[in-house]
Amino acid sequence: MLEDDAADAELTRFSLTKAGVHFSLVRVDSEEDFLRELQDNPPTLILSDYSLPSFDGHSALRLAREHCPETPFIFVTGTMGEEVAIETLKSGATDYVLKTRLSRLVPAVHRAMREAQERTHRRRAEEQLRESHEQLRALSVYLQSVREEERTRIAREVHDELGQALTSCKLDLSWIANRLPREPSALLKKVRQLSDYLDATIGTVRRISSELRPGVLDHLGLAAALEWQANEFQNRTGIKCEVRSHLRDVPLPQELNTAFFRIFQETLTNIIRHAGATQVVVDLKEGHGRIILHVKDNGRGISQPEVAGSGSLGLLGMRERTELLGGDFKISRLPRAGGTQVTVSIPADRSCRKFIKNNENPFSRRPRSRSPWAEANSC
């Protein structure tokens, strides 16, 4: 209570006590004492006179908002004009009560405390929601990291173990074919058919391994991986795909390479499914400390409802990958020629985020065990 008149302070105390309000009260009458109490013993409620000999209500309210912004502040004063009252409320006061009408004090106190409690609960709920959102984003980053690590491991095993096993079978079959008699010809024909089937299977294994995790991405970098994917896309669909790269010959963080490559893959998939395009142009460049990818096609063009809609998991995934690395994702319809443009811009210096530092589960302090292959291919 900021009050210089002891009799008025006692009347206020009596009104609260008579109404059954349980409280402890400290009365001060100077700016120094008021400021000290705010700093050393932050109050639950502030009752303040408006006019004091050496201190005014506006200054008291300003100090209270600086040091205890969530604490309700009620003026209990002898006189206060309507304009002044409105000004104090605009400045952050909770309420005002005239000393000649102390019957309003207890309802004003109850309302102020109730509203303060509601604000506290709302703030805690917002903090919990924000923490949950951060945990979900952390989990998303973690799952992407684990998924890429698992893709890399499977691709290596498929390429090295299954591919080598099939190659050995092919060599053994060739050895048998060279030692078979020329007759009967049906047996030689069957062996040649089996050899051709093994060749096709080996090619399929190599394709699956590359699709899981292309080795060119890990060994030659992002630009080369985009060119490889563009060639695969062009050969498979007949849609011309041109890649222009203007990146410096500097290694990028692995998570950055992975994000751009997966977004590019998803963009090409959308072009196949929806665009009806005959040409795709890809620009990869660096500017203002960011890596920027533009993918343009000459198809029908994406509509505004499709951009704004939440039904496309592909678009949501691309946007989420970009935002997790502090980047910007934009997809729009080209105004003149038609078609669609996807733009991805991510800071070039984004190393692994804190959420996946040391590939740790964000919901556990316990780090995952890691293989040497995972160590070599992690962020």
Query: Which CATH number is 254's domain given?
Result: 3.30.565.10
What pLDDT score does 310 carry? 52
Instruction: Let me know the angle formed at the C-alpha of 323 by 347 and 314, rounded to the nearest 5 degrees.
Output: 125
What pLDDT score does 359 carry? 44
Instruction: Let me know the angle formed at the C-alpha of 267 by 266 and 269, rounded to the nearest 5 degrees.
Output: 65
Give the separation between CA 2 and CA 38, rounded to whole angstroms. 11
Query: Which CATH number is 26's domain given?
Result: 3.40.50.2300
Could you say which of 69, 93, 117 is where a domain stops?
93
Q: How far is CA 1 from the centre of its chain?
A: 46
What pLDDT score does 309 carry? 60
Closest CA relative to residue 63, chosen from 90, 86, 85, 42 = 42
Closest CA relative to residue 262, chosen from 186, 342, 170 = 342
Surface-to-core class of residue 14, CB atoms within 10 Å of its CB (0-12 exposed, 13-18 middle, 19+ buried): exposed
Question: Which is it for strands 290-297 and 279-287: parallel, antiparallel or unpaired?
Answer: antiparallel
Give the separation between CA 323 and CA 9, rounded to whole angstroms. 57
Total number of residues shown for the chain: 379
The residue ranges of the chain whose pLDDT is under 70 are 138-146, 148-149, 151-153, 155-161, 182-184, 207, 209-215, 306-313, 337, 350-379
Region of residue 287 (phi > 0: left; psi between -120 and 50: alpha; otherwise: beta): beta
Give the separation between CA 281 and CA 297, rounded to whole angstroms. 6
What pLDDT score does 47 carry? 93
What pLDDT score does 376 carry? 38
Domain for residue 320, yes or no? yes
Full-model pTM: 0.49
Surface-to-core class of residue 160, CB atoms within 10 Å of its CB (0-12 exposed, 13-18 middle, 19+ buried): exposed
What pLDDT score does 155 carry? 67
What does R_g of the chain's alpha carbons equal in angstroms? 36
Give the separation between CA 361 and CA 275, rounded to whole angstroms. 38
Could you say which of 93, 110, 132 is where a domain stops?
93
Domain for residue 118, yes or no? no
Say if CB 34 and CB 66 are below 8 A apart. no
Residue 147: its H or E element: helix 105-157
DSSP labels for 24-61?
A: ----B-SHHHHHHHHHHS--S-EEE-SB-SS-BHHHHH
Domain for residue 373, yes or no? no
What pLDDT score does 109 carry? 92
Residues in CB range of 109: below 8 A, 6 or more apart: 16, 21, 45, 74
Classify residue 369 by its DSSP letter: P
Could you say which of 93, 114, 146 is where a domain stops?
93
Query: Residue 37 belongs to what domain range?
Result: 6-93
The greatest distance separating any two alpha carbons of the chain, rounded to the nearest whole angstrom, comes to 126
pLDDT in tens, 106-142: 999 999 999 988 988 888 888 888 877 777 776 666 6
Domain for residue 46, yes or no? yes
Domain for residue 332, yes or no? yes
Task: Show contacts of 36-41: CB within 8 Å, 24+ apart.
Answer: 38/63, 38/64, 38/67, 38/68, 39/67
Domain for residue 20, yes or no? yes
What pLDDT score does 258 carry? 83
The amino acid that residue 280 corresponds to is V
**CA distances in angstroms from 27 to 5, 62, 101, 239, listed in the order given:** 10, 18, 21, 81
- Measured in degrees and rounded to the nearest 5, phi and psi for residue 159 equal -70, -50
pLDDT in tens, 264-273: 888 888 888 8
How many Cβ atoms sit within 10 Å of the Cβ of residue 139?
14
Q: In which order are the strands placed within the sheet that holds 95-98?
A: 46-48, 73-77, 95-98
- Measured in degrees and rounded to the nearest 5, phi and psi for residue 254 equal -60, -35
What pLDDT score does 378 carry? 38
What is the count of structural domains for the chain? 2
Q: How many CA atoms lie within 13 A of 307 on its CB side?
A: 13
Domain for residue 289, yes or no? yes
Domain for residue 342, yes or no? yes
